[in-house]
């Protein structure tokens, strides 16, 4: 048993066990939630079917709330738990603006990062899976907020996807831009995500380069 496990209280160990066993089911539910949200936004659904899709999404979201409350109740240091999960807590408490439902998807996608504990694996999941899902989800959200608004430039999902890619890459051509409050909040999220993505890419490349350099130095010392 590791030192950290020996020092952890029984309640903290219980939280760790809960997260270990709940992560993969919650991650799968997150992907289902994303599919339901995309189906709702991109399809022309009859009111009855739309209500069923929204009901299924809300049922999944209730499971996410149960997970958060369970971890909160089980945790010894509840103030520290809230500080470490403030983004998730805000996502749970967001007002029910239509386009802001995409923030539920962003919080749900975060469960995917709990699948693994190592930093390198988390970076790989972030860059290879979470970032593409984030772009897709933000494109859905901004399309949902903008497409029916008079004067909007983002009126189809293709334009929304292009806008999301340009924004997260911090290029900012300016050919498309949101005009609604919800759309601009989504834009801010993508801007900060783009900065974080570039930082992660830089750190990952630097770590790989230094690792290769250290390996070459080790090989040369062995030859001597």
- What is 116-224's CATH number? 1.10.287.70
The arithmetic mean of pLDDT across residues 143-167, rounded, is: 90
Burial class (CB in 10 A: 0-12, 13-18, 19+), 188: exposed
pLDDT band at 5, cuts 50/70/90?
A: very low
* Chain segment 88-106, per-residue pLDDT in tens: 777 676 645 555 666 666 6
- What pTM was computed for the model? 0.70
* pLDDT higher than threshold 80 for residue 135: yes
175-170-27 Cα angle (round to 5) = 110
The distance between the two most distant Cα atoms of the chain, rounded to a whole number of Å, is 76
Instruction: Give the C-alpha separation, 107 to 18, whole Å.
Output: 18
For 177-218, how does the pLDDT look when each residue is reduced to its tens digit (9 = 90+)? Answer: 899 888 888 888 888 877 777 676 676 667 766 777 777 767
181-223 vs 101-109: helix crossing angle, rounded to 10: 20
The predicted pLDDT at position 98 comes to 56
């Amino acid at each position: 048993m590791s030192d950290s496990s020996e020092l952890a209280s029984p309640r903290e160990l219980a939280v760790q066990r809960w997260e270990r066993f709940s992560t993969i089911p919650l991650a799968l539910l997150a992907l289902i939630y994303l599919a339901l949200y995309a189906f709702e936004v991109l399809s022309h659904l009859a009111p009855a079917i739309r209500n069923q899709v929204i009901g299924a999404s809300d049922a999944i979201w209730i499971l996410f709330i149960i997970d958060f409350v369970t971890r909160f109740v089980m945790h010894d240091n509840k103030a520290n738990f809230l500080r470490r999960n403030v983004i998730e807590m805000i996502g749970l408490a967001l007002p029910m603006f239509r386009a802001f439902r995409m923030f539920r998807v962003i919080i749900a996608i975060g469960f995917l990062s709990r699948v693994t504990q190592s930093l390198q694996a988390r970076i790989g999941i972030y860059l290879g899976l979470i970032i593409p899902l984030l772009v897709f989800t933000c494109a859905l959200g901004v399309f949902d907020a903008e497409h029916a608004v008079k004067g909007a430039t983002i009126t189809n999902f293709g334009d929304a996807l292009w806008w999301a890619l340009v924004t997260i890459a911090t290029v900012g051509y300016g050919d498309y831009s949101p005009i609604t409050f919800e759309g601009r909040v989504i834009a801010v999220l993508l801007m900060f995500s783009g900065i974080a993505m570039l930082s992660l890419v830089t750190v990952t490349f630097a770590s790989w380069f230094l690792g290769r350099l250290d390996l070459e130095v080790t090989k040369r010392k062995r030859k001597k």
